[in-house]
Each structure stands twice: as structure tokens, then as C-alpha cells.
Structure 1
Amino acid sequence: MSNKFDALKTSDESGDEEFPQKYMQKLAKEVLVAPDISPDEHKLQYAYALWYSKRNPGKLGALLSYDQNLKLIGRFASVEQFWGLYSHLSRPSELNTHTDFHLFKIGIKPMWEDEANQRGGKWVVRLRKGLVSRCWENLILAMLGEQFMVGEEICGAVVSIRFQEDIICLWNKTASDLSTTQRIRDTLRRVLHLPPTALMEYKTHNDSLKGVKDHKI
């Protein structure tokens, strides 16, 4: 099956051209459980959900909370289901600024407040323009293929499209486990083909949440 993105660009009344808003809202109302797979499919170790968010400029965008911006695109539990979803997505490099994809294990919502994320953190990699689509594909294939070898520590990954750079983040459960976070860092550097000089930053979710609260104050 092809692993190429086909740009899914269906305009609607919201003005969001990347994904049809009504389709995403319908999916978001479903009970978030792992989808059934047929006996001839190749089951993944974990089932995943793919989310999409877009922060619109202006007052309306500022008023919407983070969870209100999250839209569920789809779920998969097998290799075949993954490619069936992935092949219909726009490449990250084709998305508009202030747009994010969130790929998380089913049962973990892509929010700091989720129980699985509360004591965790994330590795942050900032990319110059033009690299994000390849790096995102390499990362999610490594995640699905269990290349990080850290048990259940990996929660999910986020790709964020910004004006001057793009950002990839890999979330894990236990920020205090230094040996595990270092193993994740080393594997992430390898699967993204980053040079030894590339900067990588680790942020605990507590620090990220504190920064948001301080900014509001």
C-alpha cells in the first residue's frame, strides 16, 4: 500500500481547508476504543488515535480552550488500518501555520492533564522548514514499530506547524526516569537522522503547565 499522503482538502463553512469539520466532529463523538481488526490484518502492539488541532487567529481562537480545538480524525489498531488512514492525510508541510497533528495511544488524550501524562514530559525537536514531513513519518513509523524499547513509556507524538519553524515532540509518562528519557532521546536522534550537534530539549509537563499559568497571570 502506498505510503504517500494525498492532500485531503475539503473546504467547509468554517474556512478550515485541510479537513472537513463535520467529519471530524462526527468522529469525536464516538466512544474512543480500539477499532476491530480482521484475522488477516497485522495487529499493532497498541491502538492509536490521530487528532488534529488548529489555532485560529483573533479573539475567537483565543477564547477556545485546547480541548475544544482537538478534533479526532481516526483510530487504528493494525498496520493496514494505519496505512488506510495515513494515505489520505495531507503532509505536515502542506498544512497551514498554527496547525498540529497529535498521534497518541488510545486511552491517552493529548493533554497535559491526562492521567497518563501528568508525571511525564516531552522531547522537543525544532526543525527548519522543509524537513518536517520526512521527520514526522520516520517518527511515527518508529513509534508504531516499537523501536524505542522503553515498554509503555511512550504516550504519543505531536507535530506543530509554525511560521518560521516546525516542531516535533515525543511525549513519555515518567519525566523523573532519567535513563528512560535518555534512551528515548538517543533513539529519537537516530530515527530522525539528527546530527550530534542538533539541539534537543526536554520539558516536563508540569513546567509547561506552569509556564502557561504564569503567562496568563
Structure 2
Amino acid sequence: MFDCDSSQFFFNLILRPKDLDPITDLVLFKKGLKPIWEDSPQGGKWIIRLKKGIASRYWENLLLALIGDQFKVGEEICGAVISVRQTEDILSLWNKDATNKDVTYKIKETLKVVLDLPEKISMEYKAHNSSLADNSSFRNTTKH
């Protein structure tokens, strides 16, 4: 579970993706975890690519869902990242075990609900061992 006191403080002070320069990443991870593949090599992440200008609402909703423990997958969630890029923004939610298909599916379905994602937005999943192998966060993902 995310520490509500520090998470709430963080949420009140955070800059919104729309206010950030391109090539900026904002992260919220559980205490003791870092946003690096090596911290949970068996894990992976759900990736949602967003057109410019709409990421702030999705990012805020994701943070609130994490703080409110809406995913109901125990300690499986590691954290979230919003990557502000020149032509798009990329939202990702990291989990500990990419091999647990039931949990990764539940995370996907919960993401759809808490973010109220339109049907046209694609979600991709990438295991960290694939990221380590191809040295890329976003190449060679699996569309879902």
C-alpha cells in the first residue's frame, strides 16, 4: 500500500504533465522501490500512449487510484510513471510479476475503469526482462 500521508503531500505539490517540458518523467513508487527494471526483474508494466494535452487528468486519476488502493492486487503494484515526450505522453504502471497473467489482467481491467479509458486508446504490456534484453522501455511491447 502507498503511504497515504506522504502520497497526499506529494499529490498536492506535483506538477501536472501539461506544465512540464518534453523528456521529463514523473514517478510515484512505493517506499524502497526504484523505477528501474533491475528492482523487479520478474515484473513488467502496462503502457498507455496518450496524445498531447490529455495526460494530466489520467495521471491525477492514476495517483488517486494508487493512494486509494483501488487495484486490489496486494503488494503487486510497484509504482507509476508519466513520461512527457515531444509528440505524446506515456503513462505506465509497474508491477512485480509479469508471469502472473491473472494479476496483470486484473491490473489492466482496473486501469480501464479508474482512468475511464476510451475504447480507442491501446494498452501495451512489457515485461522488464524484455526491456533489459532490448535496452528499451517502449519497443517490442505486446498490444492488448
TM-score normalized with structure 1 length: 0.60
Contact 2:82 2:89 in 1 (8 A): yes
Match of 2:62 in 1: 139
Match of 1:172 in 2: 95
Match of 1:9 in 2: none
Q: 2:111 aligns with which of 182, 185, 188?
A: 188
- Considering fraction of residues, name the structure with more helix: 2
Match of 2:122 in 1: 199
TM-score normalized with structure 2 length: 0.89
Match of 1:100 in 2: 25
Measure, in 2, the Cα distance between the counterparts of 1:211 and 1:158.
Answer: 20
Per the TM alignment, residue 133 of structure 1 is displaced from its structure 2 partner at its CA by: 0.5
Measure, in 2, the Cα distance between the counterparts of 1:146 and 1:85.
Answer: 16
Q: What stretches of structure 2 of length at least 5 have no aligned partner?
A: 137-144
Amino acid aligned to 2:25: D
- CA RMSD across the alignment: 1.4
Per the TM alignment, residue 46 of structure 1 is displaced from its structure 2 partner at its CA by: 3.1
Instruction: Report the count of equivalent residues.
Output: 136
Matched, 1:155 2:111: no
Match of 1:112 in 2: 37
Percent identical residues: 50
Match of 1:72 in 2: none
Amino acid aligned to 1:201: E
Higher Rg: 1
Match of 1:38 in 2: none
